[in-house]
Amino acid sequence: MRILVILRQVYEQKSIQWSYEDRKLIYQRNSYNKSDLHALQWTREYKLKADALVDVLILKKEEEASEENKLANFGIQRCFRIPSNGSEKEDAAFISDLLKNESYSLILSGYETEDEHSCALLPLLSYELGIGVLTAVYQLEGKPNGQLTALRKEERGSLQEFTIQLPAAVSVTSHISKLRYHRGRSAPDFTMIEVKRQLSKPEAVRRIEAPEPNIWYADTPSEEIPQLRLLNIMGFASQSNNSNNLQKQTDHLSKAHLYFTAERLVKWLKE
């Protein structure tokens, strides 16, 4: 099986801060998108069980250096390095053009990026290439017939099971594998291919601002006396004690109470 893993270069989320003075983001440290690395780690573990050739494609921020020696010991064959302007649409079109003469059975990447939280690259690429796509995969296993089975979490507390006919594109969450860091700086053990690309300016016009929460205007208290309004906001409302609140007490525990408790629990679970 030939696998292509797409790694996106991002600024590490932990290293970033909004500077209120300069009105921009500061302390930017470069790294690869975490969930993309989880996808690469998965291929390394897959290679131990089955035959696979793994290539990597790095989408690199134009002005930054990328650290390929971090990718040593992953068993990679070839590594393409492509400059990107951050537009997923243009990246997908460019990659699909590049892959016209290649035949990968599986294209893997992380589900979401740490910076923009965007998750459109892989689906876009799959539509360009005309292959199936499944995103946010939680567990992925190869089957003897060449298919893959995947679990994905769409609802909390439950998983959906799918079979994937190859070729396909799959994006994974960080649950897919445990990252193992290789100590020491080894030289890259793969062939590096620098891909030339003419970048255009991204089309979306946008501005970046300080973090700002969404503000909700809930019910405002209507009491005339300010002290009562204040008490209302603090949760000691005069009118809001309805029968659902805890005014009712009993001093012995009977079967009826337990049934009542059990019934409430079941009702809450159904909500």
Partner 1 sequence: MVICYIPLKEGLAVKHSAHGLLAKARKLSSQVTALVVHCGIQEEDIRLDCDEMVMIRLSEREWPVSSCHIQAISSFQRELSKEGPFLFTSSPLTNEITVGLAARSGSTIINQAMDITMDNDRLIVKRELYGGKACTYEYASCSNYISIDPAFLNYYKTSSKRPVSIRHLDLNVPKNDSIQFIKNKQLSWKEIGLTEASCVIGIGRGVYQTPALDQIEILAEVLNAPIGGSKVADELQLIPRERRIGSSGITIAEADIYIAIGISGSSQHLEGIKNVKHVLAINNDAAAPIFKRCDIGIISRYENVLPQLIAALKNGDGVKNIEDIGYTAAGV
Site for partner 1 in 29-88 (CB under 8 A): none
Smallest distance, partner 1 to C-beta of residue 153, A: 8
Judged by beta carbon, residue 82 or residue 124, the one nearer partner 1 is 124
Residue 75 falls in which region: left (phi positive, over 0), alpha (psi -120 to 50) or beta = left
Give 157's strand partners.
none
Kindly tell me which residue out of 46, 74, 104, 111 binds partner 1, with binding defined by CB under 8 A. Answer: 111
Judged by beta carbon, residue 238 or residue 259, the one nearer partner 1 is 259
Kindly tell me which residue out of 3, 71, 168, 176 binds partner 1, with binding defined by CB under 8 A. Answer: 168
Q: Which stretch binds partner 1 (CB under 8 A): 44-52, 54-62, 96-104, 258-266?
A: 258-266
Judged by beta carbon, residue 154 or residue 224, the one nearer partner 1 is 154
Amino acid, single-letter form, for residue 113:
T
Residue 249 binds partner 1 (CB under 8 A): yes
Judged by beta carbon, residue 57 or residue 168, the one nearer partner 1 is 168
Judged by beta carbon, residue 73 or residue 85, the one nearer partner 1 is 85
- Are 4 and 99 spatial neighbours (Cβ–Cβ below 8 Å)? yes
Smallest distance, partner 1 to C-beta of residue 141, A: 13
Amino acid, single-letter form, for residue 240:
S
Q: Which stretch binds partner 1 (CB under 8 A): 52-60, 71-79, 183-191, 198-206?
A: 198-206
Smallest distance, partner 1 to C-beta of residue 76, A: 26
Q: Which two tokens stand for residue 48?
A: 């131990």
Q: How far is CA 156 from CA 135, 160, 214, in A?
A: 16, 11, 24
How does DSSP assign 58-99, residue by residue? Answer: EEEETTS---GGGGTTS-EEEEEEEEE-S-HHHHHHHHHHHG
Smallest distance, partner 1 to C-beta of residue 188, A: 29
Give 107's strand partners.
4, 169
> Residues 6 or more apart from 121 whose CB is under 8 A from it?
6, 8, 88, 91, 92, 109
Give 30's strand partners.
11
Q: Which two tokens stand for residue 145?
A: 């017939």
Place of tokens 């590490």: 12
Judged by beta carbon, residue 239 or residue 243, the one nearer partner 1 is 243
Smallest distance, partner 1 to C-beta of residue 59, A: 17
- How many residues sit close enough to partner 1 to count as binding (CB under 8 A)? 78
Smallest distance, partner 1 to C-beta of residue 17, A: 7
Kindly tell me which residue out of 64, 97, 146, 149 binds partner 1, with binding defined by CB under 8 A. Answer: 149
Residue 234 binds partner 1 (CB under 8 A): no
Kindly tell me which residue out of 120, 195, 199, 228 binds partner 1, with binding defined by CB under 8 A. Answer: 120
Residue 233 binds partner 1 (CB under 8 A): no
Q: Which stretch binds partner 1 (CB under 8 A): 9-17, 39-47, 57-65, 222-230?
A: 9-17
Q: Which two tokens stand for residue 208?
A: 């970046």
> Residues 6 or more apart from 171 whose CB is under 8 A from it?
35, 39, 108, 109, 110, 111, 119, 122, 123, 133, 134, 135, 136, 137
CA dist 122 and 116 (Å) reads 15
Nearest Cα neighbor of 74 from 98, 39, 49 is 39
